Amino acid sequence: MKKIIGVMLFLGIIFAAIGCADDPDPKFRIMNDRSEKANVQIKTTGGNTININDVSAGQITDYQTAAEGNIEIAVVLQNEPVSPTTQFFAEKGKNYTIVIEKGLIPTLRVY
């Protein structure tokens, strides 16, 4: 009887530990491949907005944390009439790089 109680207690502790394990929130960073400075606005689920201003040409920012869910990105480039936008679904436990790509027309790519 003592063995059964001991095994049940051990299994209870294991299941509690597994249930408490939580994936970290998604993280993202900005990579500016253009030759102009960029101001980036990130709208996250729940209405929060993160602004990352003055991302220099060739710069990669540090990772920022956001809640899991839909992410909308808008970029304003210095001396550019076009402001690229994109959106994606950010999943817990994943890291994303948002690239402001080179080219005649500025575009965004998320990987």
- Do the beta carbons of residue 48 and residue 38 sit within 8 Å? no
Q: From 50, 38, 51, select the one nearest 79 (Cα to Cα).
A: 38
CATH class for the region spanning 24-110: mainly beta
* Residue ranges of domains in the chain: 24-110
Top pLDDT among 90 and 8 is at 90
pLDDT category at 3 given cuts 50, 70, 90 is: confident
Hey, what are 20's tokens? 């408490």
Please give the pLDDT value at position 15.
Answer: 65
- Do the beta carbons of residue 22 and residue 53 sit within 8 Å? no
What would the pLDDT profile of 41-84 be if each residue is shown by its tens digit?
999 987 889 999 999 999 999 999 998 999 999 999 999 999 99
